[in-house]
Chains A and B, each alone.
Chain A
Amino acid sequence: MTEIETLLAAVRARDPSEIRLTEYPSLARQLLNVERGGLRPLNVVVLSTFTTEFIDPFLVVEGARHGLQVSISRGGFAQFEQALLDPGTRESWGAIDAIVLQMRIEDVDRNAVVRYPADPSVFPGRVAETIERLESCVAIIREWSDGPILIANFAMPSLRPLTVYEAHAGDSLTYAVAAANRELWNRLAPLAGVYVWDYAGLVASRGSDTWTDPRLWALARAPISSENRPFFAAHLARTLKGVVEPSAKCLVLDLDNTVWGGVVGDDGVEGLQLGDEYPGSAFKEFQRAVLGLRDRGILLAVASRNDLDVARRAIETHPDMLIRWEDFAATRINWNPKSLGLREIAAELNIGIDSLVLFDDNPVERAEVRESVPEVRVIEVPTDVTRYAIALYESGHFDVPSVTEEDRGRARAYQAERARADARGSAPSLEEFLRGLDMMVEIGHLDALNQERVAQLVAKTNQFNLTTRRYTKAQLETMATEDDREVIWLRLRDRFGDAGLVAVAILQLCEQTAIIDSLIMSCRVMNRHVEQALTSHLASLAKARGCTQLIGEYRPTSKNHIVAGLYPALGFAAADGDGETRRFVLDLVVNAEPIPWPETIQSPAGRT
């Protein structure tokens, strides 16, 4: 990882409440001192009725969290029109990407707020004047910039004049603030490039009682309390990002322990946690939140390492599934690496890979995706499912200033496009991906070191198992000593790590014929040409032992249909079978290499 990637990872692994206050300045210094490649430079001018210099380190760090390289410029204290009109000040700002304007009514006229009950008409009057000033600031800015302008709305102050009866008294400050915010929206939001920054929403969500620190107001005209500075910066950074950066377009979901509780392959559809009682209710709530995103135009997709039929049946038939199969614009349910599924989803939906967001409970999968497709935005999923929805919404990846009719109809449009794509079939570049994995295999004969794992694969594997002959450990040991049998294993490694011993084959030699008695592989490594490597090795071995033909057997069970076509795909010809066993034959004489070694896997050392 580069220096900036390390720093960003340190920031993004924690939310603002988890970063110590004393850590922010040093994180900000580090961020300012490294090449902030990959972050979008954003020079923002902040004009406010209070001192905002204090937020700078927080804005640098929280900006970086949201992909922004923020630098901040200002005018003189509490200056608006003067700063905006003064050519010298403007020159000192350089090229500006966004302007933030914040006028608090309590700074404009403290009496209008603190002594509100004396004359409830004073406050709305100040609001009207303030909105007029903001309009005139926008007009001044528009003389020389058409960039985005964020205008903070009005927060409820922590001192409520009527205390607990604010809501009961109809002409209270509470209702006057609500009316002021509506008026601000009416007058400013329709202007091109002007956005209302929901400062009031931020203060409300953090709590207005502790939002300000009267000491800081008294000493430094900087009202926001120490512990809320990171949140002020985080909210502003998110709002800026939503204005200058396109939002993510597609939420890619894992299934097991994400959309439902449990593992459908193990627990079955009936055993899943999904319903109206905890923990099933929490997964259902999460699904509702996911659909809330879909309703406003976010596409949904699935990337899950699962058996397609089993998973699809769960999605289509579980009575408590709120998200239905048709709600997914694309699905990749298979045993491929998740990063490949994400690449394919982006290609199928014809959107940038950087507009995908992954929500997956499994940290290993998240790490794999971060490593191989760093452009994908990966949400840190909490361990507690009741917190999933908050993590999803608070990630900021789906923030958009407004929702259009087109957004609302997007999901339907993609459903139709998906039906078309299904009809013509899609061709992702699997080979390219596999080449990038730097796969290496090691092949050997059964010995004491690996007999446990070999016996386990033989006993447990259901799906990629051509004959499902369940030999015991003792039987396997005996076979290994026989001249006419070979028990062979394969280990796989790639640049992500060691997958371990993942495949086993038993070869039976009868004079000039070699029979693949068993061929077993872990589903985790399916579609990586590992089976081709192993059978290529078996063919070479048989040939070296003087055989002229290699026979492959397939005995269908309820679970191994995925390998029914394996031998024909490897170039074997169908031959006679008997009863439960289908046979396929490969001529070892005609070709120098009867089954070519896959190009995407490095040959093991010493292989001939």
Chain B
Amino acid sequence: MGIVDRLQEVFQAVFGEEGRITSDDDGPGSIPGWDSVNHVNLILAIEAEFGVQFDAGEIPDLVTVGQIKARLAEPR
């Protein structure tokens, strides 16, 4: 599975059916349930799925699908 498919699975685990990703611009405005609590849940789920750890400073900025994809593409 590529990054996009794995990310899709994580989004649906956290947000349910409403977590379907349609574009890189998807974020708190387009995905219902993406509130501050679920933002942290999403980040932790991504960490678990991809085996990465983000710095505290990065977490508030990872608020669109595009930003998350770009960050995951960076070397660890």
Contact = CB atoms under 8 A, between A and B. Distances in A.
A26 interface: yes
Given A219-B59, A219-B60, A25 B14 contact: yes
A26 B9 CA distance: 11
B49 A22 contact: yes
A387 B50 CA distance: 31
Nearest to A21: B48
Interface residues of A, number: 18
A226 interface: yes
Interface in B1-58: 9-10, 12-14, 16, 36-37, 40-41, 44-45, 47-49, 54-56
A222 interface: yes
A495 interface: no
Interface string A4-29: 00000000000000001111011001
A227 to B, nearest CB: 8
Contact of A226 (B10, B13, B48): B48
A110 interface: no
Contact of A214 (B13, B36, B45, B56): B56
A226 B46 CA distance: 11
A54 B37 contact: yes
Given A22-B14, A220-B37, A215 B45 contact: no
Contact of A219 (B9, B13, B40, B47): B40
Contacts of B9: 22
A367 interface: no
A230 to B, nearest CB: 11
B48 A26 contact: no
A494 to B, nearest CB: 42
Interface residues of B, number: 20
A226 B56 contact: no
A219 B9 CA distance: 25
Given A22-B49, A25-B13, A26-B13, A226 B60 contact: no
A171 interface: no
Contacts of B41: 25, 54
A218 interface: yes
Nearest to A213: B44
Contacts of A216: 40
Q: Which of A54, A218, A226 has the most CB of B within 10 A?
A: A226
A22 B40 contact: no
B48 to A, nearest CB: 4
Contact of A220 (B10, B13, B14, B36): B36
A226 B44 CA distance: 7
Contacts of A22: 9-10, 13-14, 45, 48-49
Contacts of A219: 40, 56, 59-60
Contacts of A23: 13
A109 interface: no
Interface of A: 20-23, 25-26, 29, 51, 53-54, 214-216, 218-220, 222, 226
Given A21-B45, A22-B13, A54-B37, 14 more contacts: A22-B10, A22-B45, A25-B13, A25-B16, A26-B12, A26-B13, A53-B37, A54-B40, A54-B41, A215-B55, A215-B59, A219-B60, A226-B44, A226-B47
